[in-house]
Amino acid sequence: MKQKNKVKENNKKQIEQKKEKVAVSVGRTNKKSLKVRFLGGVGEIGKNMTALEYGKDIIVIDAGITFPGDNMPGVDLVIPDVTYLEQNKSRIRGLIITHGHEDHIGSIPYVMRDFNAPIFGTKLTLTLIENKLKEHKLNEVSLNCVKPGSVIKLGCFSIEFINVNHSIAGAVGLSITTPVGVVFHSGDFKIDFTPVNGETMDLSRISEIGKKGVLLMMADSTNIEIDGTTMSESVVKDTLDHVFADNLKKRLIIATFASNVHRLQQILDLAVKYKRKVAFSGRSMINIAEAASKIGELKIPDGLIIDIEKTKSFKDNQILIVSTGTQGEPMSALTRMASGEFNKVEIGKNDTVVISASVIPGNEKMIYGVINNLYRLGADVIYESLEPIHVSGHACRGELKVLHSLVKPKFFIPVHGEYRHLKKHANLAQSVGMKESNIVIAEIGDTVELTDKTIKFGEKFKAGSRFVDGVGIDGEDSFVLRDRIHLSEDGLVVVVVGVDEFSAQLTSLEIIGKGLVFSDSMISEAKANVTNTLSRIDLRTVRDESELAGIIRRSIKNYIYKATKKNPMILPVVMVV
């Protein structure tokens, strides 16, 4: 026996020694390689979040949201699952934000509950983030303002911020110096030689970085399917100018993305030119206009803005309403105007409505529904398919080729796009001379490991989505979401049973069907089914109401499926009287 125990002890020691060797080996590997972990923004549009990890240091790029699909009833927002970051929060040196769009900053108030890291971004970006943090009563987060051209040091990482053009002010690309080489992250960008604010993308600095050598580039893939180049934002101003000129006697309502401060500035300048007062409509429009004005990104002349309530005191040709709702969002100002549910603005024949935005894929039905309703109310409607009233903030194929030729990365990972976008961007990289073996298409939960000479997939880690529902946050395996989907597809049957406390006899039975076709005859047959089942049971032997509820559920489940070809949620309610 003693000899067996010694053998066991020796085996245990050998196992522990092997574990220690493995641990040391893993530690050494981590110190020699850069790990890029994808928590969002690949294989999807939105929810952008990427972590760079080397040794004991982690930096996070962006923290965005996406909006729920039709298969997520009742969900308000979808945010990244940051379980990995929670588990390693002591190693996070900072959160770097490329710009202030919701798909890059929207999840910050939620993830900051799980780890509190300093945030770095440009002035407008931080102003928008600050408003979100205040709303969520997160007042202790460190916000650090940077300018294009500035460099910060976080652990072993050195991050340079580079000015790029996009559809929001303060957008930057990132040049990140790591122990294994430089990582260039384009952020969301386009090349605009005539931007509204006069600040062009810093192509000369990007070229310098490329000449010094870039190990890895991650670049925006959103418009990879579109040939040529993106139109300049200044093109929109010309279109808007003639819209104002053609509607001198009418009231103008312009819906645009609240975050597009440059577009907003053009609209306000034209309002001044054509002597119209401006009323903002929609909470996000008001908040962003106030924030941008506060820091000087938006210049609003005194006396130009009036309250939406006061527009009725002016003639139609003296008013411009700037509204949210470019995507037909159900509760947006424009949608409520179109449905006649917005008491502050009544749409009529003397209105011209301009939708200065492109339709995001998946939103076509909602926005065209709004356009149809506006026409029904007598308004004229101008939208993208009729006029060049919107330009994208994302680079097309021509601009992406320019970026690749300037950066000349050794390795490439396409980001910010669905899988087809990533695949086509990978093909473009090959077409400009990159080896296929040097290109990686990553998905959420993937780790890509890099040395100065190699790129390969590493470990998978827990990642995905979390759902924001009111003030609650739930995971992808949410029972709440599954129940909602179940209810939306198959409906609900409520069985209310009354049982006498003393005789244990059935005293009443009601069956109510909601969300499915359940005729009176079906209800009668279902009642008979439950009554027959309970008549064969001595209810005094049933332990409690939950056991009786289970018996009732089982008794009519098969009948309801045979009768309706649906599998509704069955909710038995037992009342002892």
Q: What is the pLDDT of residue 567?
A: 87
- Which tens digit of pLDDT belongs to each residue from 535-555? 888 777 777 788 888 888 888
Half-sphere exposure of 567 (CA within 13 A, CB side): 4
Quote the crossing angle between the two packed helices 520-535 and 545-564, to the nearest 10°: 140
Which amino acid type is present at position 569? Answer: M
Helix, strand, coil tally for the chain in percent (to 5): 35, 25, 40
What six digits make up the tokens of 121? Answer: 């971004």
- To which residue do tokens 């008549």 refer? 535
Q: What is the pLDDT of residue 279?
A: 96
SS (H, E, C) 308-373: HHHHHHCCHHHEEEEECCCCCCCCCHHHHHHCCCCCCCCCCCCEEEEEECCCCCCCHHHHHHHHHH
Q: What is the pLDDT of residue 480?
A: 66
How far apart CA 224 and CA 422 sit, in angstroms, is 8
How far apart CA 84 and CA 35 sit, in angstroms, is 13
Q: Which residues of the chain have pLDDT under 50?
A: 1-8, 12-30
Alpha-carbon distance values, 100 to 55, 63, 128, 187, 283 (Å): 30, 10, 7, 11, 17
How far apart CA 387 and CA 350 sit, in angstroms, is 20
How far apart CA 363 and CA 371 sit, in angstroms, is 12
- Which tens digit of pLDDT belongs to each residue from 146-199? 999 999 999 999 999 999 999 999 999 999 999 999 999 999 999 999 888 889
Which residues, in sequence order, are bridge partners of residue 79? Answer: 466
Which amino acid type is present at position 11? Answer: N
Q: What is the pLDDT of residue 5?
A: 46
How far apart CA 264 and CA 568 sit, in angstroms, is 49
Q: What is the pLDDT of residue 210?
A: 97
Q: DSSP states of 105-149 as a string?
A: HTTHHHHTTT----EEE-HHHHHHHHHHHHHTT-----EEE--TT
